[in-house]
Amino acid sequence: MVKKNACVFISGKGTNLRNLIIQSREYNFPINIKLVISNNKNAYGITHAKKNSIPYLIVDTKKRYFEYDLLKILKENKISLICLAGYMRILSKKFIESYTKKIINIHPSLLPKYKGLDTFKRILTNKDCKTGCTVHYVNEKLDSGNIIIKKTFFIEKTDNEKSLKYKTQKLEYLAFPEAIRKIFRAN
């Protein structure tokens, strides 16, 4: 199978990145991770790129034309899918338009509920009975693009922010690869 070139954007631990790297080693997984982008030079996730000999780039989002330079690099690497995996910066409308329907994000709630930050805290405050994660296309509105896949679990009385994060991330490791498979089956 001819795999598509993908790029993963991170800001932190990179456990989703690690999982996608493992998945991409499967011969029938539709993408190869060609490049990792981090806006944070201290992101632990960079070690996963290093260990797996995947080129990585630290971007300075304060630099005026950083997205312009980044787009150039993505095009040079023939990147056809961008996976936002815990990337904590907003991409400009122009950037998103250059990769329409080719940028996906993983979010730790059942969208459209709880867009933005502090999802677990808000879920507990509202005493929801279930939660989960969502993989969606990225558009210019925060956490609002078309949904590709959601995965759900029931919240227990004993759950706290830490346990919700743990359970949500366990589902994310299934949802992200499943969403990528789904995208390329549909194309």
Q: Are 33 and 54 in contact (CB under 8 A)?
A: yes
Q: Could you say which of 48, 107, 136, 151 is catalytic?
A: 107
Contact between 150 and ligand GRF by CB under 6 A: the answer reads no
Contact between 15 and ligand GRF by CB under 6 A: the answer reads yes
For residue 40, give the nearest of 17, 24, 73 by alpha carbon: 17
CA torsion sign, 29 to 31 to 36 to 37?
negative
Query: Which range, of 48-56, 60-68, 100-108, 154-162, touches ligand GRF by CB under 6 A?
Result: 100-108
The contact pattern for ligand GRF, residues 104-143, with x = CB under 6 A and - = no contact, is --xxx-----------------------------------
Contact between 145 and ligand GRF by CB under 6 A: the answer reads no
Q: Would you call the peptide bond into 112 cis, given omega within 30 degrees of 0 as the criterion?
A: yes
Q: Residue 166: what residue type?
A: Y
Query: Which range, of 6-14, 20-28, 123-131, 146-154, touches ligand GRF by CB under 6 A?
Result: 6-14
Task: Respond yes or no: is residue 107 known to be catalytic.
Answer: yes
Q: Are 54 and 36 in contact (CB under 8 A)?
A: yes
Contact between 79 and ligand GRF by CB under 6 A: the answer reads no
Q: How many CB atoms lie within 10 A of CB 65?
A: 9
Pick from 4, 7, 9, 16 the residue near ligand GRF by CB under 6 A.
16
Query: How far apart, in Å, are the Cα atoms of 57 and each of 76, 98, 107, 156?
Result: 14, 20, 23, 40
For residue 39, give the nearest of 56, 26, 22 by alpha carbon: 56
Pick from 21, 24, 45, 137 the residue near ligand GRF by CB under 6 A.
45
Query: Which range, of 8-16, 65-73, 141-149, 154-162, touches ligand GRF by CB under 6 A?
Result: 8-16
CA distance 38 to 11: 5
Residues that bind ligand GRF (CB under 6 A): 10, 12-16, 45, 85-86, 106-108, 169, 172
Active site members: 107
